[in-house]
Chains A and B, each alone.
Chain A
Amino acid sequence: MKDVKGLKRVAIAGFGVVGRGLAKALVTKKDVLIKRAGDYRIAAICDSKGGIYSEEGVDVFEAIRIKEKEGRLPEELTVEDIIDRIDILFECTPTNVETGEPGLSHIKLALENGVDVITSNKGPLVVGYKELMKTAKKTGAKLMYEATVGGAMPIIKLVKNELAGNEVLSIKGILNGTCNYILSRMEQEKMPYSQILSEAQELGIAEADPTYDVEGIDAAAKLVILANSLMNSNATFSDVERTGISSITPEAFEIAAMKGYTIRLIAEATRDELRVSPRLVPFNSPLCVYGTLNAALIQTDLAGEVVVMGRGAGSSETASAMLSDFVELSRCGSK
């Protein structure tokens, strides 16, 4: 699929915070990335209303300027229109854990056409992991998704590459930075949930409608991805037993502290169950992290316990994960 010069033509679908962060990183880090991933050019960018295409490479900063001014990209262009003119698709559209769309259609289309995909969108993987992997296997295209779980915190490639040969027995993790921020502030300030939530909303850490985060939906979606890709499960979103954090009282932290515990929203995958729920976490546990950090404790048969920690959200953090997939793609032989 590569053109004569061996140059990779990439496209970005979704031009929100994540898509723009990625586009910037692809431009500003180009010198470094070329050495690791080979030469590339951003041939197209699509958002929900339009797009921009240039065989010579899109002017990213001009595209960002237009998007921020007009709220959309100028041309009438969809992923379908450009799929036969690219080698790699970066899928950065918003997550929908029920339908997986629009990302699911984008990824399917790309894989069917032998185009490698690097996604930050959880929805398609939660809804159609097995099917997408089957398609990828059939056409030889690759689907990379480090950015879907834990943001900049390495976990998927860490287990697949560095811990290859191990069986993952369980994963316990803090996979939602918003909940972790709220719970660690409640612990430290002894203030009620509603007050800390408004604080988080003001800081832009929580959305105006925080349901997706505080009811554990986001963490559950990530847990499904981890279970399916690292523990060979065949789980769907509805398999996750889920409890949110909104009814936790400030007193709960005081009482828990008497026994040496704090409270965190933990996503846990074992052979028998998947659950996202507030748990008592010992103060000396590696999962007792503060602020918007993410952390995960992976229990394996050979390596024992491995702990990772890092920033779970943010545009540059997500870009970091997608770029690592980009480099990995060329390392393991992109078509």
Chain B
Amino acid sequence: MVLELKDKPGQLLRAIEPISRLGGNIIGVVHKRDRVSPLERISVEISVKIDEGRVEELIEALKRNGVVVKAYNEVRLVASTSLLLVGHIIHTDLSDTVNTIDATGFAEVVEMHISMPEVNEPSTAMVTVSATGKDELKKAVSLLKETCRKKDIMVIEPLNEDLA
């Protein structure tokens, strides 16, 4: 999230205190002293890992502390990997295949590139799956493999185990 703080001592503490109180973990703080707002406030970018349900609460707490919350966005999916599928991908209900992942709630198909050289010939697709964590990603990949096995689609996995 991007916050604006007054250029006075002790301001950063006002931003950090609610994060700590709500069980958040600060991953990074970037003080952008060159970006001063017309009201002479300084822009600070803070990355926080916090329980999804407490995000709203945190924003309110920051505002109460006099911190201007300029923007925030949730990055939920932190692990991703690409897999290659070869077979009759379209004719075996592609949306159902994708849905196997999307329906989990912890993983999504975020990118897909398909090549269909000829009608009735096998297609090839590069699918990128993102998940909320490494374990979740592994689960999602095995779900996808299971679905593809049933549909006789070959799954070519990446070599590296660290699905980063």
Contact = CB atoms under 8 A, between A and B. Distances in A.
| Same assembly | yes
A255 B154 contact: no
Given A247-B87, A280-B82, A266 B115 contact: no
B84 A256 contact: yes
B117 A255 contact: no
A172 B159 contact: yes
B124 A280 contact: no
B125 interface: yes
Contacts of B156: 248, 252, 256, 263, 277-280
A282 B122 CA distance: 24
Interface size class of B (residues with CB under 8 A): 10 to 19
B113 A280 contact: no
Contact of B158 (A243, A247, A248, A280): A280
Among A172, A254, A259, A266, the one with the most B-chain Cβ atoms within 10 Å of its Cβ is A259
A261 B86 contact: no
Nearest to B125: A255
Interface residues of A, number: 23
A139 interface: no
Best-buried of A251, A266, A281, A285 by chain B (most CB within 10 Å)? A251
Contact of A255 (B87, B126, B159, B160): B126
B7 interface: no
Given A251-B124, A252-B84, A280-B82, A258 B159 contact: no
B40 interface: no
Interface string B135-164: 000000000000000000010111110000
A254 B124 CA distance: 10
Interface of B is mostly: strand
B32 to A, nearest CB: 33
Contact of A251 (B82, B117, B159): B117
A330 interface: no
A22 interface: no
A282 B86 contact: no
Interface string A13-33: 000000000000000000000
A279 B113 contact: no
Contacts of B159: 172, 266, 279-282, 285, 287
A163 B94 CA distance: 48
Contact of A259 (B117, B122, B126): B126
Contacts of B86: 247-249, 252
21 contacts: A249-B117, A249-B122, A249-B124, A251-B115, A252-B86, A252-B124, A255-B84, A255-B124, A255-B126, A256-B84, A258-B126, A259-B126, A263-B156, A266-B159, A277-B156, A279-B156, A279-B158, A280-B158, A280-B159, A281-B159, A285-B159
Interface of A: 172, 243, 247-249, 251-252, 254-256, 258-259, 261, 263, 266, 277-282, 285, 287
5 tightest A-B CB contacts, nearest first: A251-B115, A280-B158, A251-B124, A255-B126, A252-B124
